[in-house]
Amino acid sequence: MDRYDHTALTQWTAEVLQAAGISEPHASVASPLLVRTSLRGIDAHGISRIPVYLQRIAAGEITSNDPQSEWRDGALHVDGGGALGQVAATFAVDQVVQATEKVATAACVIENCGHLSALGIFALQAAEQGRVALVCQRTPAVMGLPGSPRANIGNNPLAFAAPERGETPLVFDMANSVAARGRIQQAARDNAPIPDDWAVGEDGQPTTEAAAALLGYLRPMSGYKGIGLAMMVEVLTSGLAGWPALAGDAP
The catalytically annotated residue of 26, 45, 77, 115 is 115
Question: What are 218's strand-pairing partners?
Answer: 143, 199
Q: Catalytic: 115?
A: yes
Instruction: Return the H-helix or E-strand segment holding 79.
Output: strand 75-79
Q: How far is Cα of residue 80 from the mean position of the Cα atoms in its chain?
A: 14
Report whether 126 contacts 120 (CB < 8 A). Answer: no
Q: What are phi and psi of 219, to 5 degrees?
A: -95, 140
Report whether 112 contacts 142 (CB < 8 A). Answer: no
Q: If DSSP states are collapsed to H, E and C, what string results for 158-213?
A: EEEEEEECCEEEEEEEECCECCCHHHHHHHHHHCCECCCCCEECCCCCECCEHHHH
Report whether 135 contacts 170 (CB < 8 A). Answer: no
- The number of beta carbons lying within 10 Å of the beta carbon of residue 6 is 13
- The number of beta carbons lying within 10 Å of the beta carbon of residue 226 is 23
Catalytic residue annotation: 115
